[in-house]
Amino acid sequence: MKKESNSRKILIIDDELDLRDLYEKLLELQDYQVFCAASGPDGIQLNEQKNPDLIILDMHMPGMNGIETLRNIRKTDDSVIVVILTGYACPDTIREAIDLNVSEYLSKPFENKELLNVIGKAFGFK
């Protein structure tokens, strides 16, 4: 019998290869289906193609930042769960993220367990 999470798809949008790889491995060990994008435009395209249940979105990326990326995603997908990751939390960005219906906001650095807990809560597992 499959775990509940087997059917859950997660899209990681982060420009840092090492972090994408770490999150991908961590989530695959929890039986999530994981897709990765290195930029906002790639993430927007993958969101449309793969229809994930949850997006892990980095705020600070070159070219298109996380807020711009999320604005574009929300134009076509207002229901996907979004978890924001950032090392530079500022009140204005937090307010913008809340306005764009972000589920959770995690400040870097954080423990892997914190990320898994946030995802579990978002999916209603805990």
**Is residue 81 domain-resident?**
yes
Mean pLDDT, to the nearest integer, of 34-60?
Answer: 97
| Pure H helices in 14-109 | 17-29, 40-50, 66-76, 91-99
Give the helix/strand (H/E) hosting 118.
Answer: helix 112-122
**Is residue 125 domain-resident?**
no
Model pTM score: 0.91
The pLDDT tens digits of the residues spanning 2-26 come to 344 468 999 999 999 999 999 999 9
- Residue 119 zone, left/alpha/beta (φ > 0; ψ -120 to 50; rest): alpha
Q: Show the tokens assigned to 58.
A: 């980095």
**Is residue 126 domain-resident?**
no
Q: Show the tokens assigned to 1.
A: 């019998």
CATH number of the structural domain spanning residue 112: 3.40.50.2300
**Is residue 92 domain-resident?**
yes
Q: Looking up tokens 């134009």, which residue turns up?
A: 75
- Residue 101 zone, left/alpha/beta (φ > 0; ψ -120 to 50; rest): left
The pLDDT tens digits of the residues spanning 54-102 come to 999 999 999 999 999 999 999 999 999 999 988 776 777 778 888 889 9
Domain span at residue 25 reads: 4-119
Give how many domains the chain has, as a whole number. 1
3-class DSSP assignment, residue 58 = strand
CB 90 within 8 Å of CB 46: no
**Is residue 48 domain-resident?**
yes
**Is residue 85 domain-resident?**
yes
**Is residue 110 domain-resident?**
yes
Q: How far is residue 93 CA from its own chain's centroid?
A: 16
Mean pLDDT, to the nearest integer, of 42-63?
Answer: 96
**Is residue 124 domain-resident?**
no
